Amino acid sequence: MKSISIYLPKDEIPRQWYNLGSELAMQPPVDASGKPIGPEALAKIFPMNLIEQEMCPDPWIDIPEPILDIISRWRPSPLRRAVFLEEYLKTPARIYYKDESVSPAGSHKPNSAVAQAWYNKQFGIENIVTETGAGQWGAALSFACKLIGLNCKVYMVRISFDQKPFRKVMMQLWGGTCVASPSTETEVGRRILAQDPNTPGSLGIAIGEAIEAAVTDQSGKTRYSLGSVLNHVMLHQTVIGLEAKKQLKMAGEKLPDVVIGCAGGGSNFAGLAFPFTLDKIHGANIEIIPVEPEACPTITRGPFAYDYGDVGRQTPLIPMYTLGHAFIPRPIHAGGLRYHGMAPMVSQAVQQGLFNPRALRQTECYEAAMLWANTEGPICAPETSHAIAAVIQEAVKAREEQREKVILFNYSGHGLLDLAGYEKFMAGELSDYALPEEDLRASLEPIMSYPKPKQYGT
Ligand SMILES: Cc1ncc(COP(=O)(O)O)c(C=O)c1O
């Protein structure tokens, strides 16, 4: 039989998360005057146990047993080999992918949702408020809150709310409440709607609304949760790469030559790539590629700067690649990649020359997704299609160079609720949006006067 899937026994599930921050020259979040913020500055937004994890310098952090109990419902996830795509491309490369679409919510997101819900519950929190782009994070957090016994409210970016109505149903089915963002429920939402009633919304706006809703709640029992970007989210996702390492060994491979993940806020990419980045830091020759949309080219065209994580400027200033907190990306279908910033850990690693970011056009990603579906079979999420398009580029390169590379990528989610985008692509109705230089300059203008992080090597 040609098809290859590598399953790790349940008792091989990772017992610790890996913190790449311990190896990087990380810089702290700061206030508007440039002073590093302490844990108390975040206390109204997050529970203190997660704030401690956010700031933890240790390389390895034990995963509490109750979290393992829940994530082991679908973990370890399979490592599969894309033999049919390899055959089609006539490439000497061996292509492996970590199949995160097997989680109940259909993506990698529950790895952090379960952990965050559990820590909130431990801290005595009863209600969690969050944002969601494509709806994957909102669905994952609703699922986690249902299992752990918390209420969940989700601000969903307007364009995805309209494009992906069934994700809203998933949230409701797991007990979550979902409203379109910008909404009239918050100051941030009302301000944006007054400027542009037809705005498609953005993750930066939805994050602003969710934080505002959490910090203005008077019960003291409500906190905000973010599905990507933050250090603790990166940690939670490293189970992906830690499992993949063991599975590659079972497949008779050593280390991969190329590691690829799509990058919105950076969490699925980091989850797969960080354990291999440690090998790279210690001398392994691995090319590590985060892939983003040309319409939202944060790491390929944005500066490494201090900026807010949300349009409402309620977060501290975070050191990251950014397009400016007020940037509203064009309405591409990969809603989860429409974020103006990038995780500080991913950003710092890019600064230190550890990754080679790449930006791709929406239509080339859909072409790749179609080829994937017509060779391998599964229908991928539009976000995941960015990783697949880069994998195809690398596999073709390996063919041209006649090199037997091992390519590993993260299959971050399925696209069974994202069919509207496929329908438009097949009807020839999708376009590409390269970000004009003058728009980029304008959206960066407000952050020019902010404190500046140290540029690596200067
Ligand atoms: C399937 C899928 N992949 C990737 C992403 C991008 O997020 P991140 O960069 O945090 O992995 C999302 C976000 O919604 C997603 O739903």
* Domain ranges for the chain: 23-60+109-228, 74-106+232-445
The bridge status of strand 127-132 relative to strand 151-157 is parallel
The pLDDT score that the predictor gives to residue 128 is 98
Query: Does ligand 1 have an atom closer than 6 angstroms to the CB of 268?
Result: yes
Q: Among all chains, which residue has been given the structure tokens 């944006």? A: 192
Does residue 412 line the site of ligand 1, with CB under 6 A? yes
341 CB within 6 A, ligand 1: no
pLDDT at 435: 94
For residue 134, what pLDDT is reported?
86
pLDDT tens digits for range 336-395: 999 999 999 999 999 999 999 999 999 999 999 999 999 999 999 999 999 999 999 999
Residue 351 beta carbon below 6 angstroms from any ligand 1 atom: no
The helix-helix angle for 136-148 and 110-122 (nearest 10°) equals 40
34 CA to centre of ligand 1 in angstroms: 30
Ligand 1 site, residue 381, Cβ cutoff 6 A: yes
Tell me if 388 CB under 6 Å of ligand 1.
no
Give 289-321 pLDDT, tens digit per residue: 999 999 999 999 999 999 999 998 999 999 999
Q: Is 74-106+232-445 the same fold as 23-60+109-228?
A: yes
Q: Is the CB of residue 297 below 6 angstroms from any atom belonging to ligand 1? A: no
Number of CB atoms found within 10 A of residue 254's CB:
10
- C-beta pairs of 419-427 under 8 Å, 24+ apart in sequence: 419/379, 420/163, 420/164, 420/333, 421/163, 421/333, 421/366, 421/382, 422/366, 422/369, 422/370, 422/379, 424/333, 425/363, 425/366, 425/370, 426/370
Residue nearest to atom 4 of ligand 1 (CA): 383
23-60+109-228: CATH class: alpha beta
Q: How far apart are CA 360 and CA 363, in angstroms?
A: 9
Q: Which residues of the chain have pLDDT under 70?
A: none
The protein residue with its alpha carbon nearest to ligand 1, atom 5, reads: 336
Of 114, 20, 22, nearest to 63 by C-alpha is: 114
* 290 touches ligand 1 (CB under 6 Å): no
Per the rule left: phi > 0, alpha: psi between -120 and 50, beta: everything else, 106 is left
What pLDDT, in 10s, does the model give residues 314-324?
999 999 999 99
Question: Which amino acid is residue 19, in one-letter code?
Answer: N
Atom 10 of ligand 1, residue of closest alpha carbon: 267
pTM over 0.75: yes
What pLDDT does 379 receive?
98
Q: Which two tokens stand for residue 269?
A: 């990419």
For 68, phi then psi, to 5°, come to -60, -40
261 close to ligand 1 (CB < 6 Angstrom): no
Compute the distance from residue 458 Cα to the ligand 1 centre, in Å.
32
Sequence-separated (6 or more) residues with CB below 8 Å from residue 272: 98, 237, 240, 241, 244, 259, 261, 408, 409, 410
Ligand 1 centroid–CA 268 distance in Å is 6
Q: From the CA of 35, how far away is ligand 1's center (Å)?
A: 31
Of 59, 187, 175, 89, nearest to 128 by C-alpha is 175
State residue 29's pLDDT score. 97
Q: Fold for domain 74-106+232-445?
A: Rossmann fold (3.40.50)
**Largest separation between any pair of C-alpha atoms in the chain:** 63
